[in-house]
Structure 1
Amino acid sequence: MNFKQMTYFVAVAEELHFGRAAERLDMAQPPLSRQIKQIEEELEATLFNRGRSAITLTQAGEKLLERSKSILAQLDDTKLEIRRLGQGAEGRLRIGFVGSATYGIVPSIIKSFRATYPLVNMNLIPLNNAQLQRQLVSRMIDVAFARPALSDSEFAMKKLVDEDLLIAVPDTMEIGTGRTTNLDMLAEHNLILYPEYPRPSYADMVLKACKDAGYDVPNRVFTMDLQTALSLVAIGEGVCVVPASVGSATRNGIRFMRITPEIGRTAVSINYRLDEQGVHVQNFVKVAQSVARKLT
């Protein structure tokens, strides 16, 4: 018995009249009667007591009606669920991001996407650039917020925002009362860099920016991530070059200062596979670009 035959049976079982059931199904009565007879022969059970003036369900018919209505309801629910998944209104999206991105544009993108697609479950996974690349290749994540971008011929990349570089210093450091400083201060202090590995990384970008500005960093301390680097700054272990968005959040024990002259900028990008066909990723990228346009 197929789904169409099940629909025929339910119509007759609910109407208990072949004529009314045929009218409800928009078909002639003889082919409907033949379909019911075929179902009974296939199931080897009589489903209807056929009297002169009325028909009633047998016990087998009552059980089949109960099961058929449940199955057809599940089928309708499944069709609706698949349709909503296909439209991107429901489902799952796995989002990888570098830690520093949470200070800037990424929270606004997440909020905007959640407001537009409230039934999509977002898994947020903090990773460094190397991990983002590996997991995007292996399809363990769907999109990646990287700094500055992931370099791979299989990826598409959309730059979202450019940021200045600031320097985070301990609030106990005596460097004047202004909001700017220069690279000469690094001669007397450790430059805290992250991540320590894998390389190349954001640390190498900072070192290159300093070198291009004519300053070769003498005292280097490597750590694993931004949060650890800021904690080391707060206790006076050195200074750290960070994206401007990191400086937008106050943090005990730290002052954020502009570097003069500027040593460079850093970008946040959204990255995804070129062969990605999922509508969730397409919708998310559109939201991310829309938010980026508004913020910039």
Structure 2
Amino acid sequence: MNLKQLTYFVAVAEELHFGRAAERLGMAQPPLSRQIKQIEEELGALLFNRGRNAITMTQAGERLYQRGSDILRQIEDAKLEVRRIGQGAEGRLRIGFVGSSTFGMLPNIIKSFRANYPDVNLSLIPMNNAQLHRALVSREIDVAFARPALKDSEFVTRKLGEEPLVLAVPDTVETGSRGMANLHDLTAQNFVLYPEYPRPSFADFVLNSCADQGVEITNRVFTMDLQTALSLVAIGEGVCIVPASVASGTRNGIRFCKIEQALAHTELSLNNRLDEQSVHVRNFVKLAQSVARKTL
């Protein structure tokens, strides 16, 4: 018995009339009767009691109707789910991101995507750039927010925006009345850098930017992520150069200052695999770019 035959049987079971069932199915009555007879012969069970004026289901027919209706309903549900996933209305999207992006436009992008696609499950996974690169290559994530771009010929990279660097200092450190920090005046301080490994990383970007301005950072304290770096600053273990968007979040024990030296700007990028065909990724990228343009 195939699915088409099961559909025929359910129609007859619900109508309890071969003529009405045939009309409902858009076919003639004799072929429908032959199909039901073929099902009965294949299953070795009588499904309908055929009277002169009416038909009724046998016990075997009632059981097949119960099970068959469930099967057809599950198939329709599966078709609907697959269709919605194909349209991007359901499914999942795995998003990797560097920690500093949570202070910028990432929260607005996530909120906007959830509002537009409420039935798509989002997995949000914090990573450093090296981890993001490996996860994209191995297809453990679908998109990656990196700082700066991930370098790979198999990736598509879109610049979402750039921002200056600022200095996070303990609130006990004096930086002058102008609220501007001169890095030459702070070389005695520990500079907290992240991540410690793998390298090169954002830490090297900061070190190179400072070196370009003639600032040599000798007292270096490495840690693994932005949050730990800020915690070390808050307890007075040093200062830390961070993207300007990080200053939008208040944190006890820390003051954020502009830097007198013209350090290079840092970029936030959105990356995905070149061969990625998912409608979820296409929808997310399009929405992220729209949010980024409005934010900038």
TM range (shorter): over 0.9
Q: Structure 1 CA distance, aligned partners of 2:61 and 2:134? A: 57
Whether the 8 Å CA contact 1:22–1:28 is kept in 2: the answer is: yes
Aligned to 1:95: 95
Following superposition of structure 1 onto structure 2, how do residues 14-25 of structure 1 map, counting pairs within 5 Å?
Answer: 14-25=14-25
Q: Structure 1 CA distance, aligned partners of 2:57 and 2:230? A: 75
Q: How much has 1:20 moved relative to structure 2?
A: 0.9
Aligned to 1:59: 59
Q: How much has 1:179 moved relative to structure 2?
A: 2.0
Q: How much has 1:172 moved relative to structure 2?
A: 0.6
Q: How much has 1:41 moved relative to structure 2?
A: 1.3
Deviates more, 1:181-190 or 1:131-140: 181-190
Which whole-Å deviations, capped at 9, do the CAs of 1:235-259 have from their partners, x for residues lacking one?
Answer: 2221110000001111111111111
Aligned to 1:138: 138
Which whole-Å deviations, capped at 9, do the CAs of 1:134-164 have from their partners, x for residues lacking one?
Answer: 1111111111110011111111111111011
Which whole-Å deviations, capped at 9, do the CAs of 1:197-245 have from their partners, x for residues lacking one?
Answer: 1100000000110111122212211111111111111122211100000
Q: Structure 1 CA distance, aligned partners of 2:165 and 2:70? A: 61
Q: Structure 1 CA distance, aligned partners of 2:153 and 2:68? A: 51
Aligned amino acid, residue 148 of structure 1: P
Aligned to 1:259: 259
Aligned to 2:129: 129
**Is 1:149 equivalent to 2:149 in the alignment?**
yes
Which whole-Å deviations, capped at 9, do the CAs of 1:103-128 have from their partners, x for residues lacking one?
Answer: 00100000000000111111111111
Three-state SS of the structure 2 residue aligned to 1:210 is helix
Three-state SS of the structure 2 residue aligned to 1:169 is strand
Q: Structure 2 CA distance, aligned partners of 1:41 and 1:28? A: 21
Whether the 8 Å CA contact 1:165–1:262 is kept in 2: the answer is: no
Q: How much has 1:22 moved relative to structure 2?
A: 0.7
Whether the 8 Å CA contact 1:192–1:240 is kept in 2: the answer is: yes
Runs of 4+ with >3 A deviation: none
* Aligned-pair identity (%): 71
Question: 5+ unaligned residues in a row in structure 2: which ranges?
Answer: none
Three-state SS of the structure 2 residue aligned to 1:125 is strand
**Is 1:50 equivalent to 2:38 in the alignment?**
no
Aligned to 2:189: 189
Q: Structure 1 CA distance, aligned partners of 2:236 and 2:57? A: 84
Aligned to 2:109: 109
Aligned to 2:168: 168
Aligned to 2:180: 180
Number of aligned residue pairs: 296
Q: Structure 1 CA distance, aligned partners of 2:130 and 2:186? A: 28
Aligned to 1:204: 204
Aligned amino acid, residue 14 of structure 1: E
Aligned to 2:215: 215
Whether the 8 Å CA contact 1:186–1:217 is kept in 2: the answer is: no
Three-state SS of the structure 2 residue aligned to 1:152 is coil
Q: Structure 2 CA distance, aligned partners of 1:2 and 1:179? A: 78
Q: Structure 1 CA distance, aligned partners of 2:211 and 2:261? A: 13
Q: How much has 1:4 moved relative to structure 2?
A: 1.1
When normalised by structure 2's length, the TM-score is 0.98
Q: Structure 1 CA distance, aligned partners of 2:295 and 2:228? A: 28
Q: Structure 2 CA distance, aligned partners of 1:293 and 1:192? A: 32
When normalised by structure 1's length, the TM-score is 0.98
